[in-house]
Structure 1
Amino acid sequence: MERVVLLDETGQVAGTAAKAEVHHDATPLHLAFSCYVFDGRGDLLLTRRASSKATFPGVWTNTFCGHPGPGEPLDTAILRRARQELDLEIDALRLVLPGFRYRAEQGGVFENEMCPVFVAHTSDVPGDPDPTEVDEVRAVAWEPFRDDVLAGTWPGISPWCADQVRDLAPLGPDPVRWAPGDPRALPPAAFLAS
């Protein structure tokens, strides 16, 4: 049974809970991550969440998201999730938004996460995405995607991706040149997992 790390308001570990039971109308704050993967052409791999998912089904979002398990280092969790969700090998993983946090609701189900944001690269193409997680993968040029999200014209984007794009935009037009985020700004629980 997959478990997630629960957090207090300072980002310290407050316990664990079964992932299958944590998302509801009073979702507790927990540790997560988001990853933006760019392919060999420099395009962002964008995914549409499976329509069967309990949380935010069918929305377009960053390449993938996930939750580190108790005691699991963030980088290990990210590599694991890339393989599980997209059958994808990634490299050049780096932290860009260490302090990202959000709360969002759809259909009475809430997300409530401290969710550091990472960027990575791949020379792969997604192999066989897990159909319980992903309905579609699309490669898009970063700048037009960023501009559409900022203008509110990209249809059906996840609320966390919209917020992350707003925070990523000041880092510059070229994701390869984005400065790494300060790991000291990560939630303290992330260090316990490392």
Structure 2
Amino acid sequence: MTYDEHVVLVDGEGNQIGTAPKSTVHGVATPLHLAFSSYVFDRQARVLLSRRADHKITWPGEWTNSCCGHPLPGEALESAVIRRLDFELGLHVDSIDLLLPRFSYQAVMGNGIMEHELCPVYRVIVSADAVPNAEEVGAIRWVPWKEFADEVLSGETPISPWAREQVPLLVALGPDPLNWPTADPENLPPAAR
């Protein structure tokens, strides 16, 4: 995108405390901000993994879940998920469900750049294949959920730090990702409601 998107800054309780240009947020003292993670599945319960483009500021070239991003100020999280899936992967959503409304994490790269996000997690189901945007995504692959989850849990598959924390929480929801119980949107952080 050609303009400088703003992200929503939040306090430890998930209340909005301001906004900041996305280009200035990620550094050695990244403030807590609102984001999302999504896991895209097809009807065979395969999960779409994406490799982050090599020029990304945080975790360039790393394999991760399907799509992550930040809602714009005033934008509903579900709308942000749909917008970013279209932009990054050319995907149109069949269904979207909230799974982990209060997930948050902090991770620091070797160069000191930090991610610090309040990051609700969504399941998305699609019918068509992805068409990656090379500005955002270096590669994609579809993997059966159980195979992916087992390899992440065993440490066999290197994955982004947020996905490494999310996968055990998703596994705890049950063996079939297409039938995971959904969360109540009322449990989202106040800034995301």
TM above 0.5, one fold?
A: yes
Indicate which of 159, 163, 166 corresponds to 2:165.
Answer: 163
Q: Distance in 2 between matches of 1:143 and 1:41?
A: 12
Secondary structure class of the residue paired with 1:120: strand
The Cα of 1:75 is off from its aligned counterpart by 1.2
How many Å apart are 1:124 and its aligned residue?
0.9
1:115 corresponds to 2:119: yes
What TM-score does the superposition give when structure 1 sets the normalisation length?
0.95
TM-score, with length taken from structure 2: 0.96
| Unmatched segments (≥5 aa) in structure 1 | none
Q: Give the equivalent residue in structure 2 for 1:177.
A: 179
Deviations along 1:48-104, one digit per CA (max 9) or x if unpaired, are: 101111111011110000000000111111110001101111121000001100001
SS, match of residue 172 in structure 2: helix
Matched, 1:63 2:52: no
Pair 1:126-2:122 in alignment: no
**1:41 Cα deviation after fit:** 2.6
Aligned length: 189
Q: How does 1:10-159 map to 2 (within 5 A)?
A: 10-106=13-109, 107-127=111-131, 129-155=132-158, 157-159=159-161
Amino acid at match of 1:120: V
Structure 2 CA distance, aligned partners of 1:104 and 1:87?
A: 28
Deviations 1:109-158 (A, max 9, x none): 1000000000011111012x121211000000000110110111102x00
Q: Please identify, of 23-32 and 70-79, the stretch whose mean Cα deviation from structure 2 is larger.
A: 70-79
What percent of counterpart residues are identical? 51
Deviations 1:6-60 (A, max 9, x none): 0011100010000011000000000000000002332100001011111110111
* Partner amino acid, structure 2, of 1:110: M
* Structure 2 gap segments, 5+ residues each: none
